[in-house]
Amino acid sequence: MRILIVTDAWEPQVNGVVRTLQATIGELRKSGHEVEVISPDLFRSIPCPSYGEIRLAFAGWRRVGRMIARFAPQAIHISTEGPLGFAARRWCLKNGFPFTTAYHTRFPEYVAARLPLSPAFMWRFIRWFHRPARHIMVATRSLARELADQGLGQTMMWERGVDHALFHPDRAQHPGFAELQRPIQLYVGRVAVEKNIGAFLDTVQPGTKVIVGDGPALSDLAARHPDALFLGKLGGEALASAYAGADVFVFPSRTDTFGLVVIEALSCGTPVAAYPVPGPGDIVTGGAGALDENLDAAIAAALECDRNDAAALGARYNWPGCTAQFLKALTFVPADAMPDAAAAPRLTA
């Protein structure tokens, strides 16, 4: 299948959306599918206010349409609600071409954490953007219910995966953890206001709090919490060793739709403490961690969990399974209606 993915979130960003797209595209190509990506690096762009890693592309829908027509896709997936997503959406609606979307972030709550805009106002935008999609891919059942409550019932599951060759419970701990006071409580992810990291750093559990990641809130949080260890951005084996060496993984976000870092931590055998919200609330089951509106209580309970239970739960998530779900969400396209390369000239910009 010729699959076009349109995304405003792309390299060099390092976040769950980009990593999920990269892994899914890799699996699709291994299976013989032809995948093209329309991303901000193909256009002039400016940094997104308050989130400079995201580039906002200057992308008119006609130019995006010409790129779509040249590739002649059999399926189009619009991954993000940004300038490129708007342009591709407009082209698809003008040409009567079916498309899928994804709901990666609890966008109304995310924006409300940064700007004086009510979630109700933002939900109007979400409904407008996603309503024409044949399917909206979501990572959890609770998100499907949340969108259904907003009149968006055409959801299909698209969970997340883990590279189990990298993230596994037998990995040695990070060398920087050797002298730290136990228990080690770890956060991994973007260091920004919407991640609610301050709630974690304000907890009073004994031991050492470790923050892995970078972002606009880093200097402020480091200044206000000198007893915490800020390791900056880690990847590959260094990141896996941080997960494996921690006693508990703390996920304080209330706005993430899934939390790829949660299943990576579980795959390394590290129990998870989080709020009982969509994302961790859908993942953390069977004694692999603890959920509580009191984050201190969640951390204390997670520290009592069996690391084997955490590893067993993490082992359930893999990228081939994730990719199979992605492909299933594209099956609404009737085989006899799929344009092929010879039909490309009939696709207009």
Residue ranges covered by each domain of the chain: 2-161+319-346, 175-314
Q: Per-residue pLDDT averaged across 267-286, rounded?
A: 95
pLDDT at 67: 96
- Residue 283 in tokens: 């993942």
- Range 256-277 average pLDDT: 95
What's the confidence (pLDDT) of residue 144?
92
In percent, the amount of the chain with pLDDT more than 90 equals 74
For position 104, what pLDDT does the model report? 81
Residue in the block written with tokens 């409904």: 127
| Contact call for residues 182 and 244 (beta carbons, < 8 A) | no
4 SS3 class: strand
* Alpha-carbon span 108 to 119, nearest angstrom: 4
Poorest-pLDDT segment among 216-230, 290-304, 309-323, 333-347? 333-347
Specify the pLDDT at position 284. Answer: 96
| pLDDT attached to residue 113 | 52
Q: What percent of the chain has pLDDT over 70?
A: 88
Residues 272-287 as b or e (16 or more Cβ within 10 Å = b): bbbbebbbbebbbeeb
Lowest mean pLDDT among 66-80, 156-170, 243-257, 320-334: 320-334
pLDDT on residue 278: 87
Whole-number pLDDT of residue 256: 86
Which pLDDT value is given to residue 266? Answer: 98
193-218: average pLDDT? 95
Whether residue 53 contacts residue 111, with contact meaning beta carbons closer than 8 Å, is answered with no
pLDDT digits (tens, 9 = 90+) for 47-81: 665 555 666 767 888 999 999 999 999 999 999 98
**Mean pLDDT along residues 197-205:** 97
pLDDT > 90? residue 121: no
Give the pLDDT of residue 132.
96
Angle ∠(23,106,307) on CA atoms, nearest 5 = 60
What average pLDDT score do residues 272-284 get?
Answer: 94
Averaged pLDDT for residues 105-128: 71
Across the range 249-266, mean pLDDT stands at 93
Mean pLDDT of the chain: 89
Q: Among 206, 194, 162, 185, which residue's Cα sits nearest to residue 289?
A: 185
Evaluate whether 2-161+319-346 and 175-314 have a shared fold.
yes
Higher pLDDT, 254 or 36: 36
pLDDT of amino acid 53: 63
Does the pLDDT value for residue 135 go beyond 70? yes
Per-residue pLDDT at 335 exceeds 50: no
- Residue of 121 and 314 predicted with greater confidence: 314
pLDDT at residue 40 tops 50: yes
Fold of the CATH domain 2-161+319-346: Rossmann fold (3.40.50)
What secondary structure does DSSP assign to 81-129, as a single string? Answer: SSHHHHHHHHHHHHHT---EEE--B-HHHHHHTTSS--HHHHHHHHHHH
Segment 11-29 mean pLDDT: 90
Measure the CA–CA gap between 195 and 257, rounded to whole angstroms. Answer: 12
pLDDT, mean of residues 227-239 = 96
Mean pLDDT of 217-232: 96
Instruction: Work out the number of other CB atoms within 10 angstroms of the CB of residue 209.
Output: 22
- Confidence at residue 242, expressed as pLDDT on a 0 to 100 scale: 98
The kind and range of the H/E element at 239 are helix 236-245
Please give the class, per CATH, of domain 175-314.
Answer: alpha beta
